[in-house]
Amino acid sequence: MFDVGLTTFMILATSMVMLMTPGLAFFYGGLGNKKHVLNIMMQSFVSLGLTSVLWFFFGYSLCFSGNLTDGTDFFGILGNLDKAFYRGITPQTLFSAEKRFPEYIFIAYQMMFAIITPALITGAFINRISFKAYVWFLILWQIFVYYPFVHMVWGGGILAKWGVLDFAGGIVVHATAGFAALASVFFVGARKEKNHIPNNIPLVAIGTALLWFGWYGFNAGSELAVNDVTIAAFLNTDTAASFAAITWLLIEWNVGKKKPTFIGLMTGAVAGLATITPAAGYVTLQSSVLIGIIAGIGCYLAVKFKEKQEWDDALDVWGVHGMGGVIGTICLGLFATKTINANGADGLFYGGGITLLFKQIVAILLAVVYGFFFTLLLLKGINRLVTVKASLKEEKEGLDISYHGEIARDIA
């Protein structure tokens, strides 16, 4: 028999995480140039469909079939194909004897993570990549970057066996996507049109609200249970986001633009959400305050460094998500405590010594190095099949018209 309460909670959490991808589309769509709004939004929405297809064929199986302990996976890096096409799983199949909700819901829940992760990358190369090339990128990047890290960290693979912790995706989602975004910026180069201003800040606000709301499902749902860890992850998520948002606002108000901008406030919130993600179910509420402040400062400095280096990461994917994932994973090694999660570990500041911190640093280095360099190689390979970069004519005309034959709104 299913646990009705837990099953209901997991359906709700899954629905919330699904809502994050449209939220991301609104967030990026509002920040983008008015000639490219539909293109950047469609890159998020197409992942909803295409990733679900891949997940059915083999994605779920490669992530969550087999394990290193039993020797039933591929060297602890990828799973097997035992669950391809969801073979052997029915609506009555339990996820586990301890967590009595249908495996179907776990399939859907993890699928939502797979959907949003490559979509995060798109904010870096807005205005500059052909839609056909993006479709190829979406497929291949998931297979060769996202799936291995899911299995290694969450699917019983080599990093899980070693003791690496990542509650909801600091390594698996944000670090891999953020550094892939930076690699894509280096490959496609800067936008030809330098005059870039957000076309619709209220749309960004709607996107931020949906992301923030959905993140409760993203983090609290990752416990796959309803208990004290779930509650801690829920409140830690909001606390870190809030402190990061206000920290970013205060820095910008007093040091940067000397004005409190709405976009700065929202960017700080997203930075806090990304940074608390790996640690949400392992740290105290007080630690989440510190992590939020660190996120606001660290991600702000990363964005300023990017600007100084003139890297055209248009929507700050590297500075917010990439560096947020790195900072959060390291903070986990510092602030984790078994008093919050008995299945976790004690970090450096809670008597655990340097062991967990060392493992977290090694894992995050693996994620950023592999995510960065494989993405460069992948884009070079795709470029041999289809042209990756949009032409100057297409960029000036607008990718909405060039690729989709549509415009976001008629302003005539």
Tell whether the model's pLDDT for residue 412 goes beyond 60.
no
Q: At what angle do helices 201-220 and 4-31 cross, to 10 degrees?
A: 150
Range 321-344 average pLDDT: 98
In a domain, residue 295? The reply is yes
Helices (H) and strands (E) counted in the chain, each on its own, are 17, 0
Asked, for residue 410, whether it belongs to a domain, the answer is no
What mean pLDDT do residues 236-250 have? 98
Whether 380 maps to a domain, the answer reads yes
pLDDT at 194 over 80: no
Q: Residue 248 corresponds to which tokens in the numbers above? A: 């970013």
Quick: pLDDT tens for 212-238: 999 999 999 999 999 999 999 999 999
Assign residue 115 the CATH number of its domain.
1.10.3430.10
Model confidence band, residue 195 (pLDDT cutoffs 50, 70, 90): low
Please report whether residue 277 resides in a domain. Answer: yes
- For residue 113, what are the CA distances in angstroms to 155, 170, 225, 239, 339? 14, 12, 17, 22, 28
Would residue 107 count as lying in a domain? yes
**CA angle 64–67–70, rounded 5-degree value:** 145
Q: In the chain, what is the straight-line distance between the N-terminal and C-terminal CA atoms, in Å?
A: 60
Q: Is 277 exposed, middle or buried (0-12, 13-18, 19+ CB in 10 A)?
A: buried
- How many structural domains are present in the chain? 1
Structure confidence at residue 256 (pLDDT): 73
The pLDDT tens digits for 253-278 are 999 788 999 999 999 999 999 999 99
> Which residue segment(s) compose the domain that 38 sits in?
4-404
In a domain, 122, yes or no: yes
Q: Is 411's pLDDT higher than 70?
A: no
62-120: pLDDT as tens digits: 999 999 999 999 999 999 999 999 999 999 999 999 999 999 999 999 999 999 999 99
Which range is least confidently modeled, 132-141, 156-165, 398-407?
A: 398-407
pLDDT band of 310, cuts 50, 70, 90: very high
343 pLDDT more than 80: yes
pTM to 2 decimals?
Answer: 0.96
Does 409 map to a domain? Answer: no
* CB contact at 8 A, 51 and 138: yes
- By the 10 Å C-beta count (0-12 exposed, 13-18 middle, 19+ buried), 189 is classed as exposed
The mean pLDDT value for 19-26 works out to 97
* Chain mean pLDDT for the chain: 96
According to the model, what pLDDT value does residue 33 have?
87
Question: What pLDDT is attached to residue 303?
Answer: 97
Residue 347 lies in a domain: yes
How far from 83 is each of 19, 55, 114, 141, 156, CA to CA, in Å?
26, 10, 17, 21, 15
* Percentage of the residues of the chain whose pLDDT score is greater than 90: 93
Q: For residue 17, give the nearest of 54, 59, 47 by alpha carbon.
A: 47
Please, are residues 271 and 317 in contact by the beta-carbon 8 Å criterion? no
Cβ proximity of 246 and 297 under 8 Å:
no
CB under 8 Å to 399, separation ≥6 — which residues?
35, 36, 38, 39, 127, 131, 390
**8 A C-beta contact, residue 58 and residue 43:** no
